[in-house]
Amino acid sequence: MENVGVMMTTPMSAYLEQQLQQRFTLFKLWESSQSLADSVKAVVGDAKIGADSKLIDSLPRLEIVSTYSVGLDKIDLEKCRERGIRVTNTPDVLTEDVSDLAIGLALATLRKICACHAFVTAGSWKNGDFQLTTKFSGKSIGILGLGRIGSAIAKRAEAFGCTISYHSRTKRQTTNYRYYSNAVDLAANCQILFVASSLTNETQHIVNREVINALGPQGVLVNIGRGALVDEHGLVSALCEGRLGGAGLDVFENEPDVPEPLLELENVVLLPHVGTDTVETSMTMADLVVANLECHFLGKPLLTPVI
């Protein structure tokens, strides 16, 4: 398979790049100044740059898109179906890390862990104690999207004595968590709202002004899904005006750009989209990307097919 052209769309894992280099002819879209139309049979994208319609049209020999992510919103799936291009992602292997981080964001926001750290390092502790914060245990939890990650968040929250409710496209028959048929009712009946949905045309800005207002001035929003699931302008306004109690955010609408007002608020915790970024998981994800490519070009069944 050394002669099979594989193109990475953006810098990702150094380990992934090394593994691709060893097995295929690797092209890097961000470095290439030549036409790759006749050379590329596979694209490896991620949550930042996947395979949009323009890229797919420029690669007439493209056979497979293997994304280094679970999300598929950066891939033109309809175009891939039209062209018969296979698509794979990396589900399951990142579930634990993302759900761990979701709970960490909730704890950090409610207990003001980052502000506490700054309080100590600034020497302010010598002048008095830090302000009281809010507990996490026992809170009512709402989860938007009870898929793999949403379910893992619920399992972790249960260990803290939290009550769980959720909203998803359909009611799950395999759980006793309380189901709400819309996001507004879910937000109105929980204290912490975790956003774990997939991003689609239907779920874009599912967390809008009405949902944020329903969550209220004591509520906390935690987003580990995709930035565009939340109306970011509305979120910023609600935080600045005190209509929302706090937010823990790992994702943003226009990454890596973060709205300026968020940088000055003490009731938010901001992370640079690192939900899956542990050494262990990044290597496992990379291995799965490569294994899917190898299966395709050896004529074997794909390990995690989407199309």
Q: Which of 44, 46, 1 shows the shortest CA–CA distance to 22?
A: 1
**For residue 242, what are its two tokens?**
């005190």
E runs forming strands in the chain: 5-8, 25-28, 40-44, 64-66, 86-88, 140-144, 163-167, 178-179, 192-195, 220-223, 246-249, 268-270
**For residue 128, what are its two tokens?**
């008095």
Q: Which of 166, 159, 134 shows the shortest CA–CA distance to 248?
A: 134
209 is catalytic: no
111 is catalytic: no
Catalytically annotated residue among 78, 255, 266, 280 = 255
Q: Which of 191, 274, 145, 249 shows the shortest CA–CA distance to 154?
A: 145
- CA 208 to chain centroid, in Å, comes to 18
Catalytically annotated residue among 111, 148, 172, 273 = 273
Catalytically annotated residue among 86, 156, 167, 226 = 226
The size of the chain, in residues, is 307
From residue 63, alpha-carbon distances to 7, 84, 213 in Å are 12, 7, 46
Sign of the torsion formed by the C-alpha atoms of 32, 253, 101 and 117 = positive
Q: Which of 265, 292, 288 shows the shortest CA–CA distance to 276?
A: 288
158 is catalytic: no
Residues tagged active-site: 226, 255, 273
